[in-house]
Amino acid sequence: MNSTLQSFQMLINGAAVDAGSGRTFESMNPYSGVAWALIPEGTVEDVDAAVQAARAALDGEWGQLTGFGRAALMRRLSRLIADRAEDLARLEVTDTGKLYREMAGQATALAGWYDYYAGLADKLEGRQIPTPNPNYLVYTRREPVGVVAAITPWNSPLLLLTWKLAPALAAGCTMVAKPSEHAPASTLEFASLFAEAGFPDGVFNVVTGSTRETGEALAGHPGVDKVAFTGATRTGRAVAHAAAENLNSITLELGGKSAHLCFPDADLEAAANGVIAGVFAAAGQTCMAGSRLIVHEDVHDELVQLISDRAATIKLGDPNLPETEMGPIANAPQYHKVLQLLKVAADEGANVVCGGEPDDEQGGYFIRPTVLTGVSPDATIVREEVFGPVLAVYTFTDESEALRLANASPYGLAGAVWTKDVHRGHRIAASIRAGSVWINGYRAVAPSVPFGGIGNSGIGRENGIEAIDAYTETKAVWVELTGGTRDPFTLG
């Protein structure tokens, strides 16, 4: 064992523990390309223990708390997150290669999610329902769905965990989380805050593992009541199948191939800035990446020039430095996937305006910001999610063609409209087949605004009031008012 590496432990039933196997695996720093942390190699038995702990908490002290009690604990957690935001941000930078300038703000913003859902925890109201039979009082109760399995990705580990955990806690659920093997450290560190905030043991548990076995065991565990997953569409299908075996509900936030539609009346400098934010921020490693630019033929050349000029000056380097604008690809498998897709694009005739290759001067997993033109709507680079800093550009001639091209994708996560025509902006936003659409903007999220996709981009919504619905069940209660009896062989 390398004693110079930082060691982390899992959280099961309120205790920081090593894996039952006693084994660990290394987490790699994508900027340096070397290991920096030792992570427990969790087993199926560890998953069992975590699920049992979550069930015991649900049936015990946590399950007896009112919404007011849950809200108080969530606000304590929020304050601790704000206090530790710097440490959590640095861990995510080290583990994912994302910019400190982004992760510092993201870690600080996490507290707002728990505050928002704490404000809803004590407002989960039922209702009294009139019925045709006057002899009954009928009311409903909002009750937690139960034990939640959360399987989270490597690109924004804590934010995408929070999109599941905050509404789940507000609803009264308990959770077992399994972070990606490529970026598990921040989740393990975050888990240590729960005891300090005063949560009962077992409310939140974390199990880690480097193979598919741990995640599969959690997704298909018979002691789980709901599965919430963020990640690739292919993996999401497998998670959905595993959950279906237990007839569990699911929330899936999957891949995307989101489109910017830029009309000739748009502010092209603003559009260029928005496109850059949408596809080169986070090195394109975000499910909502605006990786397709569908631009009117009259302004194609001017907009491509604006984007490529700025893309060519994006400063790559150490993600911890304030001047760095783009970090590395987060792990070796993803790095090689992006390079393979760039090769396919070249083979299919794409024109590389800028980028298109690794930045070997940086070391690590760096790929230069890439703008491709001359692609057809059927090109592989247009159809497949890249999850890297690659923009594919093609043209339209009228509004109907723009919409047809935008919607010619099995994905439906996000999109953008760039136009000064307010009527067209709203009209196009209504017609884009996606869960989120920005008009003259891109890549903005908030705890109060629902987020999710349709088609191959997922099932259900995270964030907003709607998210709590995914973590509650509605129970109807009938109260007979007369004390009398009735014909037992009739309905009602």
For the segment 417-431, the average pLDDT, to the nearest whole number, is 98
Q: What are phi and psi of 372, to 5 degrees?
A: -115, 130
- The answer to whether residue 450 is domain-embedded is no
Q: What is the CATH number of the domain that holds 76?
A: 3.40.605.10
Contact of 440 with 270, CB cutoff 8 Å:
yes
Q: What is the pLDDT of residues 120-160, one digit of tens each?
A: 999 999 999 999 999 999 999 999 999 999 999 999 999 99
Let me know whether 235 and 322 are in one domain: no
Say which residues have a Cβ less than 8 Å from residue 270's Cβ, sequence separation at least 6: 418, 440
- The answer to whether residue 396 is domain-embedded is yes
Q: What share of the chain is helix, strand, coil (3-state, %, to 5)?
A: 40, 20, 40
Contact of 239 with 252, CB cutoff 8 Å:
yes
Q: What are phi and psi of 172, to 5 degrees?
A: 95, 10
Chain length of the chain: 492
Least Cα distance to 55 among 9, 11, 13, 117 occurs for 13
Let me know whether 167 and 274 are in one domain: no
Q: Which of 173, 262, 287, 354 is catalytic?
A: 287
Tokens at 435, concatenated: 């869960």
Q: What is the pLDDT of residues 23-77, one digit of tens each?
A: 999 999 999 999 999 999 999 999 999 999 999 999 999 999 999 999 999 999 9
Let me know whether 305 and 250 are in one domain: no
Q: What are phi and psi of 356, to 5 degrees?
A: 85, 10
Burial of residue 383 (CB within 10 Å: 0-12, 13-18, 19+) is: middle
For the segment 325-341, the average pLDDT, to the nearest whole number, is 96
Least Cα distance to 320 among 359, 278, 284, 364 occurs for 364
Let me know whether 361 and 239 are in one domain: no
- The answer to whether residue 152 is domain-embedded is yes
Q: What is the CATH number of the domain that holds 408?
A: 3.40.309.10
Let me know whether 466 and 376 are in one domain: no
In whole angstroms, give the CA distance from residue 462 to residue 468.
Answer: 8
Q: Please tell me the predicted confidence (pLDDT) of residue 360.
A: 85
For the segment 355-379, the average pLDDT, to the nearest whole number, is 94
Let me know whether 228 and 288 are in one domain: no
Contact of 432 with 407, CB cutoff 8 Å:
yes
Per-residue CA distances from 178 to 40, 327, 374, 447 (Å): 12, 25, 41, 22
Let me know whether 147 and 228 are in one domain: yes
In whole angstroms, give the CA distance from residue 181 to residue 428.
Answer: 40
Least Cα distance to 152 among 241, 90, 219 occurs for 219
Let me know whether 286 and 247 are in one domain: no
Q: What is the 3-state secondary structure (H, E, C) of 317-359?
A: CCCCCCCCCECCCCCHHHHHHHHHHHHHHHHCCCEEEECCCEC
CB atoms within 10 A of CB 33: 12
Q: What is the pLDDT of residues 264-323, one digit of tens each?
A: 999 999 999 999 999 999 999 999 999 999 999 999 999 999 999 999 999 999 999 999
Hey, what's the torsion of the CAs at 367, 370, 376, 381, to 10 degrees? 20
* Residue 415 CA from chain centroid, whole number: 16
Per-residue CA distances from 209 to 8, 78, 120, 185, 329 (Å): 12, 27, 33, 12, 21
- The answer to whether residue 490 is domain-embedded is no
For the segment 394-406, the average pLDDT, to the nearest whole number, is 98
Let me know whether 228 and 134 are in one domain: yes
SS3 state of residue 257: coil
For the segment 415-438, the average pLDDT, to the nearest whole number, is 98
Q: Over the chain, what is the mean pLDDT?
A: 96
Total structural domains in the chain? 2
1: confidence class by pLDDT, cuts 50, 70, 90: very low
Q: Which of 189, 253, 325, 462 is catalytic?
A: 253
What's the sign of the alpha-carbon dihedral 458, 337, 241, 463?
A: negative
Strands (E), 132-266: 136-144, 147-151, 174-178, 204-206, 226-230, 249-253, 259-262
Let me know whether 306 and 337 are in one domain: yes
Least Cα distance to 251 among 185, 173, 307 occurs for 173
Least Cα distance to 477 among 142, 145, 144 occurs for 142
Q: What is the domain extent for residue 169?
A: 6-254+457-476
In whole angstroms, give the CA distance from residue 340 to residue 355.
Answer: 14
- The answer to whether residue 399 is domain-embedded is yes
Let me know whether 230 and 314 are in one domain: no
Per-residue CA distances from 172 to 23, 194, 201, 321, 405 (Å): 33, 15, 14, 40, 43
Let me know whether 405 and 318 are in one domain: yes
The verdict on whether 287 is a catalytic residue reads yes
Q: Is the pLDDT of residue 459 over 70?
A: yes
In whole angstroms, give the CA distance from residue 16 to residue 195.
Answer: 10
In whole angstroms, give the CA distance from residue 165 to residue 285.
Answer: 22
In whole angstroms, give the CA distance from residue 4 to residue 234.
Answer: 36
The verdict on whether 253 is a catalytic residue reads yes
11: confidence class by pLDDT, cuts 50, 70, 90: very high
Burial of residue 355 (CB within 10 Å: 0-12, 13-18, 19+) is: buried
- The packing angle between helices 300-311 and 268-279, to 10°, is 50
- The answer to whether residue 483 is domain-embedded is no
Q: Give kind and range of the element (H or E) at residue 117.
A: helix 100-121
Least Cα distance to 429 among 180, 209, 263, 208 occurs for 263
